[in-house]
Structure 1
Amino acid sequence: MSRAHALLRAWPADRRDLLPLALWDAASIEAATGGRASHAFQASGVEMDSRDVRPGDLFVALKGEAMDGHKFIAAAFAKGAVAAITDRPVDFPHVLVEDTTKALHDLAHAARDRSQAVRIAVTGSVGKTGVKEAIFASLNRASRGAAHRSVRSYNNHVGVPLSLARMPARARFGVFEMGMNHTGEIAPLADHVRPQVAVITTIAPAHIENLGSMEAIADEKAQIFSGLAKGGTAVIPADSEYTDRMVEHARKLGVKVVTFGRSEGADVRLLDAIPCASGGSLVTADLGDARLCYTIAEPGEHWIANSLGVMAAVRAAGGDLASAGLALAEMGGLKGRGARFDIEAAGGKALLVDESYNANPASMRATLKALGQTPAHRRIAVLGSMKELGDFGPRFHTQLADPLTEAQIDHAILVGDEMRVLAAELGRRSARSLGFAPSFAHCDSPAEAIEALEQFGLTHGDAVLVKGSNSVGLGALVSHFTKPQE
């Protein structure tokens, strides 16, 4: 036997090598769902929106109250779908089931059970998408591409099982985001994933209109621990007013608790954070039995806290902390969640920070503070209304006057009806102020805000923050100012 043959025979056995390369085939879908396949096929992806189908996808024809996915089967195949899951016979390769939503759940559970991947679930009022992406980047680097995660904000009753169904059998890690806006929504998502690690980023008054109190928000977020597998780990922010409440939820379930933050008793504790010239931070953290120093590319104190949660989750999942540090140093902002653009301005370039996807009082304060720490000729904040605050809305909008002033924002463009109270407060402060007070304008729509920002006029060295709830539509303003010049 040649030396090469001997080395090949001695290659370490890996049970994952026995798992299929295709994401799904007709037989495995039949086994998972109890359905009946019309043809043999292999699928490389799973999709529920015909507009997003890619060649090789399995299209799941979901039925909702207002829409029936069966109407879009032909469109899905026109874009390259190889098969569909349907509740009626169709003139395309398909797997016939009684209920397509249940079939998606069945696929999700089969994907979960066939894989040896360590599953991490992430929720929180603020920062869950960014933290999910950072954990994924950390584990994907360490596993050389064998990590999986939910894309975009697929974090609801459809997005979570879809993300699970997309997890390859050979994945080593799976990271799943979970969101809610009503009581009782987190526990079913946690039951789908049954994670080994569950992370809460922070508790803030997002969706307080529906839940009624901060305590109710903390209790609902803590339901993510209900799905933890035996021996699982709950990762909890140590600096929250509701830390003890969340820890109690976890302790009752008998799971391990790891806390992170600045507090003296935190298991992953911040020792020091030094601003970097690039806008990020150099962080030193105490992990109890070790100290870790790493760089964060993302600016803002909220990302310092986020990074501690990432390190806690990566360690709990058995990942590599050095790879996590490298991933955090390389991460850029996500679209609508911190992406940074150099845009045209008089005399040169201005910086635009895109935070247009979501907003609540805590994230508004954090991003305004980060803007205040950003070196700039002038600082401009385009702020859209914060939704789902109910009767708390006027108070929370008015209270943004303080962080605007503290961050030395030169000009604010306020968009949406809920922002009228902030405009009134800034007007009162400006009238009686002997010190700094930002100038401001109120607009009813993104189109008016675009015109207002153009009239204000950007100059070289300006920094512009664009932040608001997604329904306000400030993404249109971002697109307008970041589109290539013709």
Structure 2
Amino acid sequence: MTDILWTADDVAAACNGRRPGVAATQPDWAATGVSIDSRTVAPGDLFIPLKGPNFDGHAFVAQALEKGAAGAVVADIPAGLEQDGRLVKVDDTMAALEDLGRVGRLNATGKVIAVTGSVGKTGTKEALKVALESQGKTFATIGSLNNHWGVPLSLSRFPADSRFGVFELGMNHAGEIGPLSRMVRPDVAIITTVEAVHLEFFASVEAIADAKAEIFEGMDPSGTAILPRDNAHFSRLLAAARTQGLHVLTFGADPSADGRLLDLVGEPAGSRVRADIAGHIVEYRLTLPGRHHAINSLAVLLAVKAAGGDVAQAAAALGGLAAIKGRGQRSTVALPGGDITLIDESYNASPVSVKAAAGVLGQAAVAPKGRRIAALGDMRELGEQSADLHAGVAPALVAAGCDLLFCCGPHMRHLFNAVPPAMQGAHAADSAALAPLLAAAVRPGDVVMVKGSAGSRMGLVVDALKALDSKNDKINPQGTTAAMNGGEPRDHNAL
């Protein structure tokens, strides 16, 4: 049975709205979902049209209702719907969405975990969901709904009887996470790491650390902060957490970490991990390769412990964690004479995440005549340090045994020039120009890793490689995609 999230009267009360058609013959209604995108409205959803600089969702209210929306919250009543009992009239639909989010959080009875960090937020959030859902009803943010509209939307979808709720908080400017934290009011907060991401908008990486520490602002002193012990800015994060009066747990390889990595055995398509989680030794397998995934899994298990879950059960469940589309999903592309392996990391990129992806490429199994190929698009929002940060990726590619680099964008020219000449495959102006060059160059046995910032549109390169498949696209079971909220606006805070 599908949960009823909101009745008509609940919606009106939560956002101080009125029901203009309530005296008509329309029956009361109840919503089992919440949507802000008419393209993805499902029967039973509450539709909330938002106004933006280039669009107004109110133009699609009638369409949403025709598709089966249970009701709609509107600031402007569309013509012909003046007496429709499915409408709730408010002054501002964005404010109404925030109100619904706050009331959704107020109604919740379970433990709430929030995740932020320069990289790894979405992967950690997905890992938490997998780790917890066998231990009780678990709700988690869909996709990367981590900004000023994504967080209240997620909270408005949060079933009140969930044992656990997992929410992702993102930002690219100071002052953005604090309001989200005060809305989510987490019992447990994870900061995955602090790195040189969004430097265009910050004076220093220290300022980025301070912005990430805003996640503590919505927490009570009884809450728990989970911090990256190996990070250069750990002391700064620790001071912020202690100022808030929080209990602190740490994770990493440092001997003092509460969640400590003891041993990591890398495999072509995964890792075997041995860890000490607050004094208890656990061994488990991850289907996602890379040291960064193993380190973040320690934070996941500490959060499970802090939220009252079973750590051993959670560790075992992590073996079922699948890669997310654009974040490590693997495909096999059949060519005449053999296959290539495609590692899709195209959702977003930063210096630290590209280096981590290079490590994954280095672990990938390659056929005897195959090559390791990196296809990279510009890393954006790096400010004045962009040239050096791009060139600085070269040693990681060399260490990973990358045979060829194909890249695009003006910033990636600095990396292309920094790698050995034998590694220089091709540089192009943009992904549209790069895609046919790479498609013509690949051959059976190759492993190709594709990555770039969202604005680089490296998904075009992924699509061009998949289009080569002579047997139609086949998704590796290890790469089964997690649920995504396809029609809703894509958030820039993916990493």
5 Å-filtered alignment, 1:21-420, equals 21-37=3-19, 38-39=21-22, 40-90=28-78, 91=81, 92=84, 93-143=86-136, 146-276=137-267, 279-376=269-366, 377-420=370-413
1:22 CA drift (Å): 0.8
Hey, what's the Cα distance between the residues in 1 that align with 2:301 and 2:273? 12
Which residue in 1 is equivalent to 2:466? 482
The answer as to whether partners of 1:404 and 1:438 remain within 8 angstroms in 2 is no
Deviation sequence 1:111-166 (CA, Å, 0-9, x none) = 111110211100000110000000011111221xx111111110000000000001
Compute the TM-score of the two structures, normalised by the length of structure 2.
0.89
Which residue in 2 is equivalent to 1:442? 427
CA separation of 1:443/1:79 partners in 2, compared to 1, >3 Å: closer, same or farther?
farther
Aligned residue pairs: how many? 456
Hey, what's the Cα distance between the residues in 2 that align with 1:425 and 1:255? 45
* Further displaced range: 85-94 or 181-190: 85-94
Pick 1 or 2: higher relative contact order, CA cutoff 8 A, min separation 6: 2
SS in 1 for 2:101: helix
1:405 CA drift (Å): 1.2
Hey, what's the Cα distance between the residues in 2 that align with 1:229 and 1:174? 17
Hey, what's the Cα distance between the residues in 2 that align with 1:258 and 1:346? 52
Hey, what's the Cα distance between the residues in 1 that align with 2:323 and 2:434? 23
Long gaps (5+) in structure 2: 23-27, 473-495
The answer as to whether partners of 2:439 and 2:464 remain within 8 angstroms in 1 is no
Q: Which amino acid aligns with 2:434?
A: A
Hey, what's the Cα distance between the residues in 2 that align with 1:328 and 1:118? 20
The answer as to whether partners of 2:147 and 2:170 remain within 8 angstroms in 1 is yes
Hey, what's the Cα distance between the residues in 2 that align with 1:375 and 1:121? 35
Q: Which amino acid aligns with 1:453?
A: L
SS in 1 for 2:34: strand
Long gaps (5+) in structure 1: 1-16, 431-436
1:408 CA drift (Å): 1.2
Aligned-pair identity (%): 44
1:475 CA drift (Å): 1.0
SS in 2 for 1:272: strand
Deviation sequence 1:431-452 (CA, Å, 0-9, x none) = xxxxxx4132101222222211
Hey, what's the Cα distance between the residues in 2 that align with 1:458 and 1:25? 57
SS in 1 for 2:269: coil
SS in 2 for 1:417: coil
The answer as to whether partners of 1:420 and 1:442 remain within 8 angstroms in 2 is yes
CA separation of 1:287/1:457 partners in 2, compared to 1, >3 Å: closer, same or farther?
closer
Hey, what's the Cα distance between the residues in 2 that align with 1:478 and 1:457? 13
Deviation sequence 1:409-439 (CA, Å, 0-9, x none) = 111111112111122223xx43xxxxxx413
Q: Which amino acid aligns with 1:297?
A: T
Hey, what's the Cα distance between the residues in 1 that align with 2:331 and 2:3? 38
The answer as to whether partners of 2:266 and 2:290 remain within 8 angstroms in 1 is no
CA separation of 1:468/1:381 partners in 2, compared to 1, >3 Å: closer, same or farther?
same
Compute the TM-score of the two structures, normalised by the length of structure 1.
0.91
Q: Which amino acid aligns with 1:340?
A: R
Q: Which amino acid aligns with 2:13?
A: A
1:21 CA drift (Å): 3.9
* Further displaced range: 281-290 or 164-173: 281-290
Moved over 6 A (4+): none
1:205 CA drift (Å): 0.8
Q: Which amino acid aligns with 2:457?
A: G
SS in 2 for 1:36: coil
1:221 CA drift (Å): 0.3
Which residue in 1 is equivalent to 2:487? none
1:310 CA drift (Å): 0.8
The answer as to whether partners of 2:36 and 2:49 remain within 8 angstroms in 1 is yes
Determine if the alignment matches structure 1 residue 465 to structure 2 residue 456.
no
1:282 CA drift (Å): 1.3
